[in-house]
């Protein structure tokens, strides 16, 4: 019988709480590990601090989310390739096996031009998985803007490893079940969440939106998937810590239930 799929928590799921509170919540609520979202919280970018949090809470760091967001453009400097090298340094130091990375923004022309080949070179150099995440077109009303290059859909590019995020598939109007089937062994990492098909990237608790979350998890579990499943939800509207933790527990329970063969 295969080992059960590990369900971990992204530290972004407790925002605006701190990285430290993400570790504390993950350990206390029974998650199997933590994904560190490297961001504007100084602790998230401090390798020594992350190692200390992992040791103190006795919970592993399973993945690193590189600082690719608009709000993290200056974290670890302004060179995007430098950020990815630094992410590998953190991954090796803390024992993580996966680095989640977004495709470049279109205005990052030099970075985007050599991105697909550059990711392959990084994997060969550092011996760690760089899992490129599915994104989505940006929409305002009836207008659509292609913000990513070489594109938001990783199925169309020759990445060895891909992250599938079910909130992003919702925003893009894509079917994550079909994405998983098409990716096959290239599916290396999962952000478990949900969406309602809104133009906004919602990151709902799994089961509260319209994505086929249960079917997706059952397919992944039956396929023998051995990567990480990371809960990445938005709890910013929680009234208090109790409400936030109820969302985190619901997401964990849903994911464990349906990721079991």
**Structural domain spans, the chain:** 7-258
Q: Is the pLDDT of residue 50 over 70?
A: yes
What is the mean pLDDT of the segment spanning 81-86? 97
Distance CA 170, CA 153 (A): 13
Residue ranges in 95-226 assigned as alpha helix (H): 109-113, 115-126, 166-172, 176-183, 213-222
Q: Is the pLDDT of residue 174 over 90?
A: yes
Q: Report pLDDT for 1.
A: 56
In percent, the amount of the chain with pLDDT more than 90 equals 92
Residues constituting the chain: 261
Q: Report pLDDT for 3.
A: 76
What is the mean pLDDT of the segment spanning 53-66? 98
- Under a CB-based contact definition with an 8 Å cutoff, are residues 115 and 104 in contact? yes
- Model confidence pTM above 0.95: yes
Q: Is the pLDDT of residue 211 over 70?
A: yes
Residues near 244 by beta carbon (within 8 Å), at least 6 away in sequence: 14, 17, 25, 235, 238
Q: Is the pLDDT of residue 141 over 80?
A: no
What is the mean pLDDT of the segment spanning 108-118? 96
Distance CA 40, CA 74 (A): 9
Q: Is the pLDDT of residue 144 over 70?
A: yes
- Under a CB-based contact definition with an 8 Å cutoff, are residues 140 and 199 in contact? yes
Kindly indicate the confidence band of residue 2, based on its pLDDT and cuts at 50, 70 and 90: low
CB-facing half-sphere around the CA of 28: CA atoms within 13 A:
9
Q: Report pLDDT for 91.
A: 98
Strand partners, 148: 105
Q: Is the pLDDT of residue 40 over 80?
A: yes
Indicate the average pLDDT of the chain. 96
Q: Is the pLDDT of residue 22 over 80?
A: yes
Alpha carbon 95 to chain centroid distance? 17
Question: Among 116-125, 143-152, 163-172, 205-214, which stretch is predicted with the lowest mean pLDDT?
Answer: 143-152
Domain 7-258 has CATH 2.40.110.10: no
What is the mean pLDDT of the segment spanning 84-97? 98
Kindly indicate the confidence band of residue 145, based on its pLDDT and cuts at 50, 70 and 90: confident
Q: What Cα–Cα distance (Å) separates residue 77 from each residue in 45, 73, 86, 125, 242?
A: 11, 8, 10, 21, 36
Q: Write the pLDDT tens digit of every residue in 30-39.
A: 999 999 999 9
What is the mean pLDDT of the segment spanning 2-9? 89
Q: Report pLDDT for 195.
A: 98
Closest CA to 134 of 163, 158, 159, 112: 163
Q: Report pLDDT for 138.
A: 93
Q: Is the pLDDT of residue 71 over 90?
A: no
Q: Is the pLDDT of residue 261 over 80?
A: no
Closest CA to 179 of 120, 136, 230, 209: 136
* C-beta atoms surrounding 48 within 10 Å: 10
Q: Is the pLDDT of residue 53 over 70?
A: yes
For strand 228-231 and strand 162-165, is the pairing parallel, antiparallel, or unpaired?
Answer: unpaired
Distance CA 149, CA 115 (A): 9
How large is the greatest C-alpha to C-alpha distance in the chain, in angstroms?
A: 49
């Amino acid at each position: 019988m295969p080992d059960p799929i590990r369900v971990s928590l992204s530290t972004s799921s407790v925002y605006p709480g701190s990285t430290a509170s993400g570790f504390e919540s993950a350990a206390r609520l029974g998650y199997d590990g933590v994904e560190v979202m490297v961001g504007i919280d100084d602790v998230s970018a401090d390798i020594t601090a992350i190692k200390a949090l992992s040791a103190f809470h006795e919970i592993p760091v399973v993945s690193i989310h590189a600082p690719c967001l608009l709000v993290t453009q200056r974290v670890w400097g302004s060179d995007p390739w430098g950020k990815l090298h630094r992410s590998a340094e953190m991954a090796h130091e803390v024992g993580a096996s996966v680095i989640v990375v977004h495709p470049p923004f279109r205005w990052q022309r030099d970075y985007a031009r050599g991105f697909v080949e550059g990711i392959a070179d990084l994997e060969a150099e550092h011996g760690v998985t760089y899992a490129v995440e599915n994104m989505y077109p940006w929409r305002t009303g009836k207008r659509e803007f292609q913000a990513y290059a070489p594109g938001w859909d990783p199925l169309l590019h020759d990445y060895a490893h891909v992250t599938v995020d079910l909130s992003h598939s919702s925003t893009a109007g894509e079917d994550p079940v079909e994405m998983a089937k098409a990716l096959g062994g290239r599916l290396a990492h999962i952000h478990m969440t949900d969406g309602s098909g809104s133009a906004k990237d919602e990151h709902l608790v799994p089961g509260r939106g319209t994505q086929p979350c249960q079917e997706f998890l059952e397919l992944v579990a039956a396929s023998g998937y051995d990567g990480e499943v990371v809960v990445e939800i938005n709890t910013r509207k929680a009234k208090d810590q109790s409400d936030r933790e109820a969302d985190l527990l619901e997401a964990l329970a849903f994911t464990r239930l349906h990721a079991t063969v």
